[in-house]
Amino acid sequence: MITKHQGALRRLHLFLDAVVVVAAMAFAFGLHLGLRAYFATLKVPPEFAEYALLAYLTLPLWLGLVVVLDLHRSFERVWPLAELFTRLLLLHAGGLTGLAILQFLTQSPINRSIVALFLFSSLLLMCALRVVLSGWLRYQHGSGKQRSRVLLVGEPGPALAAFVAHARQSALPPECVGYLNDRSQEEQAAPVEAVPYRGALAALDDLLHSEPVDEVLFFPPYNDPTSVSNSLRVCETLGVPASFAIDLVQMSQATPRVSFEHDRPFVRYDVAPKHPEVLAIKHGLDLLLALCAVLLLSPVLIVTALAVLLSMGRPVIFAADRAGLHGRAFRMYKFRTMKLGAETERAGLEAANEMSGPVFKIANDPRVTPLGRFLRKYSLDELPQLFNVLTGSMSLVGPRPLPVGEQEQIRGWQRRRLSMKPGVTGLWQVSGRSGINFEEWMALDLQYVDEWSLLLDLQVLLRTIPAVLVGRGAH
Protein backbone atom coordinates (compact mmCIF):
# COMPACT_ATOMS: atom_id res chain seq x y z
CA MET A 1 0.00 0.00 0.00
CA ILE A 2 1.57 3.33 -1.04
CA THR A 3 1.26 6.58 0.87
CA LYS A 4 -0.24 9.75 -0.61
CA HIS A 5 3.27 11.24 -0.74
CA GLN A 6 4.60 8.24 -2.70
CA GLY A 7 1.59 8.35 -5.01
CA ALA A 8 2.16 12.04 -5.72
CA LEU A 9 5.85 11.44 -6.49
CA ARG A 10 5.00 8.57 -8.83
CA ARG A 11 2.48 10.71 -10.69
CA LEU A 12 5.09 13.46 -10.98
CA HIS A 13 7.53 10.88 -12.37
CA LEU A 14 4.96 9.78 -14.96
CA PHE A 15 4.45 13.42 -15.95
CA LEU A 16 8.22 13.81 -16.45
CA ASP A 17 8.26 10.60 -18.49
CA ALA A 18 5.42 11.93 -20.62
CA VAL A 19 7.43 15.09 -21.30
CA VAL A 20 10.46 12.95 -22.20
CA VAL A 21 8.44 10.71 -24.59
CA VAL A 22 6.84 13.70 -26.33
CA ALA A 23 10.28 15.32 -26.63
CA ALA A 24 11.69 12.11 -28.13
CA MET A 25 8.82 12.00 -30.65
CA ALA A 26 9.38 15.62 -31.68
CA PHE A 27 13.15 15.10 -31.86
CA ALA A 28 12.77 11.97 -34.04
CA PHE A 29 10.40 13.75 -36.44
CA GLY A 30 12.57 16.88 -36.69
CA LEU A 31 15.83 14.95 -37.04
CA HIS A 32 14.34 12.82 -39.81
CA LEU A 33 13.39 15.96 -41.73
CA GLY A 34 16.90 17.35 -41.25
CA LEU A 35 18.64 14.12 -42.32
CA ARG A 36 16.64 13.93 -45.57
CA ALA A 37 18.82 16.77 -46.88
CA TYR A 38 21.87 14.50 -46.59
CA PHE A 39 20.38 11.04 -47.18
CA ALA A 40 18.21 10.80 -50.27
CA THR A 41 17.16 7.24 -49.38
CA LEU A 42 15.05 8.50 -46.45
CA LYS A 43 11.39 8.57 -47.42
CA VAL A 44 8.99 11.48 -47.04
CA PRO A 45 7.56 11.41 -43.49
CA PRO A 46 3.80 11.06 -42.95
CA GLU A 47 1.57 14.08 -42.57
CA PHE A 48 2.02 15.67 -39.15
CA ALA A 49 -1.63 14.95 -38.24
CA GLU A 50 -1.09 11.20 -38.79
CA TYR A 51 2.15 11.28 -36.82
CA ALA A 52 0.46 13.20 -33.99
CA LEU A 53 -2.36 10.60 -33.85
CA LEU A 54 0.13 7.75 -33.56
CA ALA A 55 2.07 9.73 -30.93
CA TYR A 56 -1.17 10.27 -28.99
CA LEU A 57 -1.80 6.52 -28.96
CA THR A 58 1.82 5.68 -28.16
CA LEU A 59 2.11 7.87 -25.07
CA PRO A 60 -0.27 5.85 -22.81
CA LEU A 61 1.40 2.64 -24.04
CA TRP A 62 4.84 3.90 -22.96
CA LEU A 63 3.57 5.17 -19.60
CA GLY A 64 1.71 1.92 -18.98
CA LEU A 65 4.92 -0.03 -19.53
CA VAL A 66 6.73 2.34 -17.16
CA VAL A 67 4.25 1.37 -14.42
CA VAL A 68 4.40 -2.34 -15.29
CA LEU A 69 8.20 -2.37 -15.00
CA ASP A 70 8.15 -0.25 -11.81
CA LEU A 71 10.22 2.46 -13.50
CA HIS A 72 8.15 5.29 -11.99
CA ARG A 73 9.75 4.92 -8.54
CA SER A 74 13.02 6.80 -9.08
CA PHE A 75 12.08 9.24 -6.30
CA GLU A 76 11.96 6.27 -3.89
CA ARG A 77 14.93 4.13 -4.86
CA VAL A 78 18.38 4.30 -6.45
CA TRP A 79 18.61 2.17 -9.58
CA PRO A 80 21.71 0.02 -10.22
CA LEU A 81 22.74 1.04 -13.74
CA ALA A 82 22.65 -2.52 -15.15
CA GLU A 83 19.13 -3.19 -13.81
CA LEU A 84 17.91 0.21 -14.99
CA PHE A 85 19.22 -0.33 -18.52
CA THR A 86 17.77 -3.86 -18.67
CA ARG A 87 14.33 -2.65 -17.65
CA LEU A 88 14.45 0.23 -20.13
CA LEU A 89 15.39 -2.21 -22.91
CA LEU A 90 12.41 -4.39 -21.94
CA LEU A 91 10.18 -1.30 -21.96
CA HIS A 92 11.26 -0.33 -25.46
CA ALA A 93 11.03 -3.90 -26.77
CA GLY A 94 7.48 -4.15 -25.45
CA GLY A 95 6.73 -0.67 -26.74
CA LEU A 96 7.98 -1.56 -30.21
CA THR A 97 5.65 -4.58 -30.23
CA GLY A 98 2.73 -2.42 -29.15
CA LEU A 99 3.68 0.23 -31.71
CA ALA A 100 3.61 -2.39 -34.47
CA ILE A 101 0.11 -3.45 -33.38
CA LEU A 102 -1.04 0.20 -33.32
CA GLN A 103 0.33 0.74 -36.82
CA PHE A 104 -1.51 -2.36 -38.02
CA LEU A 105 -4.80 -1.22 -36.46
CA THR A 106 -4.54 2.42 -37.59
CA GLN A 107 -2.84 1.66 -40.94
CA SER A 108 -0.53 4.62 -40.29
CA PRO A 109 2.37 4.76 -42.82
CA ILE A 110 5.08 5.63 -40.31
CA ASN A 111 8.72 5.58 -41.47
CA ARG A 112 10.95 2.92 -39.94
CA SER A 113 13.73 5.50 -39.65
CA ILE A 114 11.49 7.72 -37.50
CA VAL A 115 10.60 4.74 -35.29
CA ALA A 116 14.31 3.89 -34.87
CA LEU A 117 15.18 7.51 -34.03
CA PHE A 118 12.32 7.70 -31.55
CA LEU A 119 13.31 4.45 -29.80
CA PHE A 120 16.94 5.55 -29.53
CA SER A 121 16.16 9.03 -28.25
CA SER A 122 13.46 7.78 -25.87
CA LEU A 123 15.82 5.17 -24.40
CA LEU A 124 18.59 7.74 -24.00
CA LEU A 125 16.39 10.44 -22.45
CA MET A 126 14.54 8.10 -20.08
CA CYS A 127 17.84 6.64 -18.90
CA ALA A 128 19.31 10.13 -18.42
CA LEU A 129 16.26 11.24 -16.41
CA ARG A 130 16.63 8.33 -14.00
CA VAL A 131 20.39 8.70 -13.66
CA VAL A 132 19.91 12.37 -12.76
CA LEU A 133 17.16 11.54 -10.25
CA SER A 134 19.26 8.76 -8.69
CA GLY A 135 22.22 11.12 -8.35
CA TRP A 136 20.00 13.76 -6.76
CA LEU A 137 18.61 11.19 -4.30
CA ARG A 138 22.09 10.02 -3.35
CA TYR A 139 23.20 13.62 -2.75
CA GLN A 140 20.11 14.52 -0.73
CA HIS A 141 20.36 11.36 1.36
CA GLY A 142 24.11 11.67 1.89
CA SER A 143 23.82 15.27 3.04
CA GLY A 144 21.02 14.33 5.44
CA LYS A 145 18.52 16.71 3.83
CA GLN A 146 16.15 13.97 2.71
CA ARG A 147 17.17 11.10 4.99
CA SER A 148 14.13 9.78 6.84
CA ARG A 149 14.46 9.93 10.65
CA VAL A 150 12.39 7.31 12.47
CA LEU A 151 11.79 6.71 16.17
CA LEU A 152 11.08 3.14 17.29
CA VAL A 153 8.76 2.19 20.14
CA GLY A 154 9.06 -1.40 21.34
CA GLU A 155 11.02 -3.92 23.33
CA PRO A 156 14.15 -5.44 21.77
CA GLY A 157 13.12 -8.60 20.00
CA PRO A 158 12.85 -10.30 16.59
CA ALA A 159 10.44 -7.73 15.10
CA LEU A 160 12.53 -4.72 16.08
CA ALA A 161 15.84 -6.35 15.13
CA ALA A 162 14.50 -7.54 11.77
CA PHE A 163 13.31 -4.04 10.90
CA VAL A 164 16.64 -2.43 11.79
CA ALA A 165 18.63 -5.07 9.87
CA HIS A 166 16.46 -4.77 6.77
CA ALA A 167 16.44 -0.96 6.88
CA ARG A 168 20.24 -0.84 6.96
CA GLN A 169 20.44 -2.94 3.79
CA SER A 170 18.20 -0.66 1.74
CA ALA A 171 19.65 1.69 -0.87
CA LEU A 172 18.44 4.74 1.10
CA PRO A 173 18.48 3.58 4.75
CA PRO A 174 16.57 5.69 7.29
CA GLU A 175 18.27 7.12 10.37
CA CYS A 176 17.01 5.43 13.54
CA VAL A 177 16.83 8.14 16.20
CA GLY A 178 16.49 5.52 18.97
CA TYR A 179 13.89 3.37 20.67
CA LEU A 180 11.55 3.80 23.63
CA ASN A 181 9.90 1.33 25.98
CA ASP A 182 8.75 1.23 29.59
CA ARG A 183 11.60 -0.94 30.83
CA SER A 184 14.48 0.66 32.67
CA GLN A 185 17.96 0.84 31.17
CA GLU A 186 19.04 -2.08 33.38
CA GLU A 187 16.13 -4.24 32.19
CA GLN A 188 16.98 -3.98 28.51
CA ALA A 189 17.66 -7.68 27.86
CA ALA A 190 18.99 -7.36 24.31
CA PRO A 191 19.45 -3.72 23.25
CA VAL A 192 19.22 -3.08 19.52
CA GLU A 193 22.71 -2.68 18.05
CA ALA A 194 23.68 0.91 17.20
CA VAL A 195 20.16 2.16 18.06
CA PRO A 196 20.26 4.01 21.39
CA TYR A 197 17.68 3.55 24.14
CA ARG A 198 15.98 6.93 24.64
CA GLY A 199 13.91 6.26 27.72
CA ALA A 200 10.33 5.44 28.71
CA LEU A 201 7.27 5.94 26.53
CA ALA A 202 6.40 9.03 28.56
CA ALA A 203 9.45 10.72 27.00
CA LEU A 204 7.85 10.63 23.53
CA ASP A 205 6.36 14.15 23.77
CA ASP A 206 9.64 15.78 24.81
CA LEU A 207 11.63 13.83 22.23
CA LEU A 208 9.35 14.85 19.34
CA HIS A 209 9.63 18.47 20.48
CA SER A 210 13.42 18.44 20.80
CA GLU A 211 14.45 16.47 17.68
CA PRO A 212 13.31 16.19 14.07
CA VAL A 213 11.41 12.90 13.64
CA ASP A 214 9.63 11.98 10.41
CA GLU A 215 7.74 8.92 11.70
CA VAL A 216 7.18 6.88 14.85
CA LEU A 217 7.05 3.09 14.42
CA PHE A 218 5.35 1.00 17.11
CA PHE A 219 6.48 -2.61 17.63
CA PRO A 220 5.32 -5.36 20.05
CA PRO A 221 4.11 -5.08 22.75
CA TYR A 222 3.17 -1.47 21.94
CA ASN A 223 1.63 -2.10 18.52
CA ASP A 224 -2.01 -1.98 19.67
CA PRO A 225 -3.27 1.61 19.14
CA THR A 226 -5.82 1.26 21.96
CA SER A 227 -3.13 0.40 24.54
CA VAL A 228 -0.92 3.38 23.61
CA SER A 229 -3.67 5.88 22.87
CA ASN A 230 -1.82 8.66 24.75
CA SER A 231 1.27 8.19 22.59
CA LEU A 232 -0.86 8.12 19.45
CA ARG A 233 -2.52 11.35 20.57
CA VAL A 234 0.91 12.96 21.00
CA CYS A 235 1.85 11.98 17.43
CA GLU A 236 -1.45 13.32 16.08
CA THR A 237 -1.10 16.60 17.99
CA LEU A 238 2.41 17.21 16.67
CA GLY A 239 1.63 16.03 13.13
CA VAL A 240 4.08 13.12 13.17
CA PRO A 241 2.84 9.96 11.35
CA ALA A 242 2.52 6.85 13.52
CA SER A 243 2.67 3.30 12.13
CA PHE A 244 1.88 0.08 13.98
CA ALA A 245 3.58 -3.23 13.16
CA ILE A 246 1.19 -6.07 12.37
CA ASP A 247 1.51 -9.11 14.59
CA LEU A 248 1.48 -12.35 12.60
CA VAL A 249 -0.05 -15.20 14.59
CA GLN A 250 2.11 -17.67 12.66
CA MET A 251 4.54 -17.60 9.78
CA SER A 252 2.46 -16.98 6.69
CA GLN A 253 2.89 -16.57 2.94
CA ALA A 254 0.09 -14.03 2.91
CA THR A 255 1.12 -10.37 2.79
CA PRO A 256 -0.80 -8.15 5.24
CA ARG A 257 -1.89 -4.74 4.02
CA VAL A 258 -4.55 -2.20 4.89
CA SER A 259 -7.57 -2.10 2.63
CA PHE A 260 -10.88 -0.25 2.74
CA GLU A 261 -14.14 -2.13 2.27
CA HIS A 262 -17.18 0.15 2.09
CA ASP A 263 -15.23 2.91 3.86
CA ARG A 264 -14.14 0.65 6.72
CA PRO A 265 -10.42 -0.16 7.23
CA PHE A 266 -9.37 -3.83 7.30
CA VAL A 267 -6.04 -5.62 7.55
CA ARG A 268 -6.06 -7.86 4.51
CA TYR A 269 -3.89 -10.96 4.12
CA ASP A 270 -3.25 -11.80 0.49
CA VAL A 271 -0.87 -14.37 -1.00
CA ALA A 272 1.17 -12.78 -3.79
CA PRO A 273 -1.01 -9.63 -3.99
CA LYS A 274 -1.39 -8.09 -7.43
CA HIS A 275 -1.51 -4.38 -8.19
CA PRO A 276 -5.05 -3.57 -9.45
CA GLU A 277 -3.61 -1.17 -12.03
CA VAL A 278 -1.35 -3.84 -13.52
CA LEU A 279 -4.19 -6.40 -13.53
CA ALA A 280 -6.30 -3.84 -15.40
CA ILE A 281 -3.53 -3.55 -18.00
CA LYS A 282 -3.46 -7.37 -18.27
CA HIS A 283 -7.21 -7.54 -18.89
CA GLY A 284 -7.04 -4.67 -21.40
CA LEU A 285 -4.23 -6.43 -23.31
CA ASP A 286 -6.26 -9.66 -23.19
CA LEU A 287 -9.16 -7.98 -24.99
CA LEU A 288 -6.95 -6.19 -27.51
CA LEU A 289 -4.77 -9.21 -28.37
CA ALA A 290 -7.73 -11.64 -28.43
CA LEU A 291 -9.62 -9.35 -30.83
CA CYS A 292 -6.55 -9.07 -33.08
CA ALA A 293 -6.10 -12.87 -32.96
CA VAL A 294 -9.74 -13.48 -33.91
CA LEU A 295 -9.42 -11.11 -36.87
CA LEU A 296 -6.10 -12.55 -38.05
CA LEU A 297 -7.11 -16.18 -37.51
CA SER A 298 -10.67 -15.87 -38.84
CA PRO A 299 -9.79 -17.89 -42.00
CA VAL A 300 -8.36 -20.66 -39.80
CA LEU A 301 -11.45 -20.58 -37.58
CA ILE A 302 -13.77 -20.85 -40.59
CA VAL A 303 -11.79 -23.66 -42.28
CA THR A 304 -11.54 -25.61 -39.02
CA ALA A 305 -15.25 -25.26 -38.34
CA LEU A 306 -16.07 -26.49 -41.87
CA ALA A 307 -13.66 -29.44 -41.47
CA VAL A 308 -15.32 -30.49 -38.20
CA LEU A 309 -18.80 -30.10 -39.71
CA LEU A 310 -17.98 -32.14 -42.82
CA SER A 311 -16.07 -34.92 -41.04
CA MET A 312 -17.96 -35.25 -37.75
CA GLY A 313 -21.22 -33.40 -38.25
CA ARG A 314 -22.90 -31.28 -35.62
CA PRO A 315 -22.22 -29.88 -33.10
CA VAL A 316 -19.08 -28.16 -34.31
CA ILE A 317 -18.36 -26.54 -30.93
CA PHE A 318 -17.96 -28.52 -27.73
CA ALA A 319 -19.09 -26.47 -24.71
CA ALA A 320 -18.54 -27.64 -21.15
CA ASP A 321 -18.57 -26.15 -17.67
CA ARG A 322 -15.15 -25.24 -16.32
CA ALA A 323 -13.99 -23.78 -12.99
CA GLY A 324 -12.87 -20.18 -13.39
CA LEU A 325 -11.74 -17.40 -11.07
CA HIS A 326 -12.17 -18.53 -7.42
CA GLY A 327 -14.22 -21.48 -8.64
CA ARG A 328 -16.88 -19.62 -10.66
CA ALA A 329 -18.36 -21.95 -13.27
CA PHE A 330 -18.36 -20.79 -16.90
CA ARG A 331 -18.94 -22.35 -20.32
CA MET A 332 -15.66 -22.98 -22.14
CA TYR A 333 -15.68 -23.49 -25.91
CA LYS A 334 -13.54 -25.79 -28.07
CA PHE A 335 -13.82 -27.30 -31.50
CA ARG A 336 -15.24 -30.81 -31.09
CA THR A 337 -12.52 -33.47 -31.36
CA MET A 338 -14.42 -36.55 -30.11
CA LYS A 339 -17.21 -38.64 -31.54
CA LEU A 340 -20.76 -38.18 -30.28
CA GLY A 341 -21.52 -39.84 -26.96
CA ALA A 342 -17.90 -39.67 -25.83
CA GLU A 343 -18.85 -38.58 -22.30
CA THR A 344 -20.91 -41.70 -21.72
CA GLU A 345 -17.90 -43.89 -22.61
CA ARG A 346 -15.55 -42.28 -20.07
CA ALA A 347 -16.56 -44.57 -17.19
CA GLY A 348 -15.33 -47.60 -19.13
CA LEU A 349 -11.95 -45.98 -19.74
CA GLU A 350 -11.16 -44.92 -16.15
CA ALA A 351 -8.78 -47.87 -15.69
CA ALA A 352 -6.64 -46.56 -18.58
CA ASN A 353 -6.23 -43.07 -17.06
CA GLU A 354 -2.56 -42.04 -17.31
CA MET A 355 -2.73 -38.93 -15.11
CA SER A 356 -2.45 -38.97 -11.32
CA GLY A 357 -4.90 -36.99 -9.21
CA PRO A 358 -8.51 -36.29 -10.20
CA VAL A 359 -7.65 -35.41 -13.83
CA PHE A 360 -8.53 -37.82 -16.65
CA LYS A 361 -6.14 -38.08 -19.63
CA ILE A 362 -5.27 -40.88 -22.07
CA ALA A 363 -2.53 -40.56 -24.68
CA ASN A 364 -4.40 -42.52 -27.35
CA ASP A 365 -7.99 -41.86 -26.35
CA PRO A 366 -10.18 -44.07 -28.61
CA ARG A 367 -12.96 -41.47 -28.53
CA VAL A 368 -10.87 -38.89 -30.42
CA THR A 369 -11.42 -38.81 -34.20
CA PRO A 370 -8.52 -38.62 -36.72
CA LEU A 371 -9.30 -34.94 -37.40
CA GLY A 372 -9.57 -34.40 -33.66
CA ARG A 373 -6.05 -35.75 -33.15
CA PHE A 374 -4.72 -33.30 -35.72
CA LEU A 375 -6.57 -30.39 -34.11
CA ARG A 376 -5.31 -31.35 -30.65
CA LYS A 377 -1.71 -31.78 -31.79
CA TYR A 378 -1.53 -28.21 -33.05
CA SER A 379 -3.97 -26.78 -30.43
CA LEU A 380 -6.41 -25.67 -33.13
CA ASP A 381 -9.27 -27.03 -31.01
CA GLU A 382 -8.48 -24.34 -28.42
CA LEU A 383 -9.04 -21.37 -30.75
CA PRO A 384 -12.72 -20.79 -29.78
CA GLN A 385 -11.47 -19.94 -26.29
CA LEU A 386 -10.46 -16.57 -27.72
CA PHE A 387 -14.18 -15.75 -27.44
CA ASN A 388 -14.04 -16.76 -23.76
CA VAL A 389 -11.29 -14.17 -23.40
CA LEU A 390 -13.43 -11.54 -25.12
CA THR A 391 -16.33 -12.26 -22.75
CA GLY A 392 -14.02 -11.94 -19.73
CA SER A 393 -14.27 -15.48 -18.33
CA MET A 394 -10.71 -16.37 -19.37
CA SER A 395 -7.35 -14.70 -19.91
CA LEU A 396 -4.81 -15.36 -22.66
CA VAL A 397 -2.34 -16.64 -20.05
CA GLY A 398 -3.23 -18.34 -16.78
CA PRO A 399 -3.77 -21.73 -15.09
CA ARG A 400 -5.56 -24.23 -17.31
CA PRO A 401 -9.31 -24.45 -16.45
CA LEU A 402 -10.44 -27.87 -15.28
CA PRO A 403 -13.92 -29.40 -15.47
CA VAL A 404 -15.98 -28.37 -12.45
CA GLY A 405 -16.20 -31.95 -11.19
CA GLU A 406 -12.42 -32.47 -11.34
CA GLN A 407 -11.68 -29.10 -9.72
CA GLU A 408 -14.01 -29.91 -6.81
CA GLN A 409 -11.80 -32.89 -5.95
CA ILE A 410 -8.70 -30.70 -5.65
CA ARG A 411 -8.25 -29.73 -2.01
CA GLY A 412 -5.85 -27.62 0.04
CA TRP A 413 -2.97 -25.56 -1.36
CA GLN A 414 -3.54 -26.74 -4.94
CA ARG A 415 -6.88 -24.91 -5.03
CA ARG A 416 -4.97 -21.61 -4.86
CA ARG A 417 -4.53 -21.94 -8.63
CA LEU A 418 -8.06 -20.50 -8.88
CA SER A 419 -6.91 -17.11 -7.54
CA MET A 420 -6.24 -15.92 -11.10
CA LYS A 421 -8.35 -16.20 -14.23
CA PRO A 422 -7.79 -19.40 -16.21
CA GLY A 423 -5.83 -19.05 -19.42
CA VAL A 424 -5.86 -20.28 -23.00
CA THR A 425 -2.16 -21.02 -22.49
CA GLY A 426 0.09 -21.17 -19.45
CA LEU A 427 3.26 -22.56 -17.93
CA TRP A 428 1.85 -26.10 -18.09
CA GLN A 429 1.22 -25.90 -21.84
CA VAL A 430 4.68 -24.56 -22.67
CA SER A 431 6.45 -27.00 -20.32
CA GLY A 432 5.34 -30.26 -21.87
CA ARG A 433 1.58 -30.55 -21.14
CA SER A 434 0.73 -34.26 -21.09
CA GLY A 435 4.34 -35.22 -20.33
CA ILE A 436 4.00 -33.63 -16.87
CA ASN A 437 2.35 -35.40 -13.94
CA PHE A 438 -0.47 -33.87 -11.90
CA GLU A 439 1.68 -32.66 -8.98
CA GLU A 440 4.14 -30.91 -11.31
CA TRP A 441 1.22 -29.38 -13.20
CA MET A 442 -0.25 -27.92 -10.00
CA ALA A 443 3.20 -26.65 -8.95
CA LEU A 444 3.57 -24.83 -12.30
CA ASP A 445 0.15 -23.23 -11.84
CA LEU A 446 1.09 -21.97 -8.37
CA GLN A 447 4.44 -20.73 -9.68
CA TYR A 448 2.50 -18.66 -12.22
CA VAL A 449 0.12 -17.30 -9.56
CA ASP A 450 2.92 -16.37 -7.14
CA GLU A 451 5.38 -14.95 -9.68
CA TRP A 452 2.92 -13.38 -12.10
CA SER A 453 3.91 -10.28 -14.02
CA LEU A 454 3.15 -8.90 -17.47
CA LEU A 455 6.68 -9.87 -18.45
CA LEU A 456 5.96 -13.49 -17.46
CA ASP A 457 2.78 -13.39 -19.59
CA LEU A 458 4.82 -12.15 -22.55
CA GLN A 459 7.37 -14.93 -22.06
CA VAL A 460 4.63 -17.59 -21.94
CA LEU A 461 2.98 -16.22 -25.09
CA LEU A 462 6.30 -16.24 -26.95
CA ARG A 463 7.04 -19.81 -25.80
CA THR A 464 3.54 -20.91 -26.84
CA ILE A 465 4.22 -20.26 -30.53
CA PRO A 466 6.99 -22.90 -31.00
CA ALA A 467 5.18 -25.30 -28.64
CA VAL A 468 2.08 -25.14 -30.86
CA LEU A 469 3.99 -25.33 -34.14
CA VAL A 470 5.74 -28.56 -33.18
CA GLY A 471 2.77 -29.96 -31.27
CA ARG A 472 4.92 -30.59 -28.19
CA GLY A 473 3.25 -32.54 -25.37
CA ALA A 474 -0.23 -32.59 -26.97
CA HIS A 475 -2.53 -35.59 -26.80
Nearest to 366 by CA among 342, 347, 335, 402: 342
Q: What is the pLDDT of residue 398?
A: 94
Rg (the chain; Cα; Å):
29
pLDDT at 151: 92
SS in 3 state form for 100-168? HHHHHHHCCCCCHHHHHHHHHHHHHHHHHHHHHHHHHHHHHHHCCCCCCEEEEECCCCHHHHHHHHHHH
Per-residue pLDDT tens digits for 197-216: 888 899 899 998 888 888 89
pLDDT at 270: 74
pTM of the entire structure? 0.61
| Size (the chain), residues | 475
Averaged confidence pLDDT in the chain = 82
The pLDDT value given to residue 310: 92
Q: What is the pLDDT of residue 2?
A: 55
Give residue 382's identity as a one-letter amino acid code: E
Distance CA 433, CA 417 (A): 16
pLDDT at 1: 47
Percentage of residues of the chain with pLDDT beyond 70? 85
> Residues in the chain with pLDDT < 50?
1, 251
Question: How far is the C-alpha of 399 from the C-alpha of 441, rounded, in Å?
Answer: 9
pLDDT at 413: 81
pLDDT of residue 308: 93
For each of the domains in the chain, give its residue range(s) and CATH number, in order of start. 4-142 (no CATH), 149-247 (3.40.50.720), 276-340+356-469 (no CATH)
Digit-coded pLDDT (tens) for 208-246: 888 888 889 998 889 888 889 999 999 888 888 888 887
